[in-house]
Amino acid sequence: MMRCFFLVWMLLWSAPSFAQNEELERLSAAAEVIENLAKVPEGIPPDMVRSSKAIAVIPNVIKAGFIVGGRFGRGVVMVRHNNRFSAPLFITMGGGSVGFQAGVQGTDLVLVFRTQQSLDNLLQGKLTLGADANVAAGPVGRSIALK
């Protein structure tokens, strides 16, 4: 619980240093996702947060498709250096797919990076959810359908 509070505080504390409304909205949305997750007893396990190399929060990832599909989301990632999280880095994720699909879905996505290699892949733009990273739907009632 204390770790989640710290993550929210870091997101909100860094907000005044950014002048653009888009970044402020992104930080506020990410902080809201972490706050809501902290209220759920089955949220992110504290041991996972303690051992993480970085945490990414991407609120409202939109996935839409009809035979050809795509997904898009903007969020923040905080990297751990010497047991402290950095100021948020802004990230954008996107992708496409082809196959039997129809519909639109929005998902709040929280990624916990536990290895340096996974973090390096993210920062170099080489991370593919479902191929390079395992994706698991949490017990919060949200679903994740990224492949």
pLDDT digits (tens, 9 = 90+) for 25-59: 888 888 888 888 888 877 777 788 888 888 889 99
- Listed residue (102, 119, 131) closest to 52, CA to CA: 119
More confident residue, 108 or 5: 108
More confident residue, 84 or 46: 84
Please tell me the predicted confidence (pLDDT) of residue 20: 64
pTM over 0.75: no
Sequence-ordered list of residues with C-beta below 8 angstroms from that of 36, at least 6 positions apart, any chain: 108, 140
| E runs forming strands in the chain | 54-81, 84-85, 89-113
Q: Domain ranges in the chain?
A: 2-123
pLDDT beyond 60 at 83: yes
Q: Which region holds residue 131: left if phi is over 0, alpha if psi is between -120 and 50, else beta?
A: alpha
What does the chain come to in residues? Answer: 147
Q: Which of 10-24, 45-59, 101-115 has the lowest mean pLDDT?
A: 10-24
* pLDDT, averaged across the chain: 75
Please tell me the predicted confidence (pLDDT) of residue 2: 57
- Listed residue (91, 105, 19, 2) closest to 54, CA to CA: 91
Please tell me the predicted confidence (pLDDT) of residue 103: 83
> What distance separates the 2 farthest-apart alpha carbons in the chain?
46
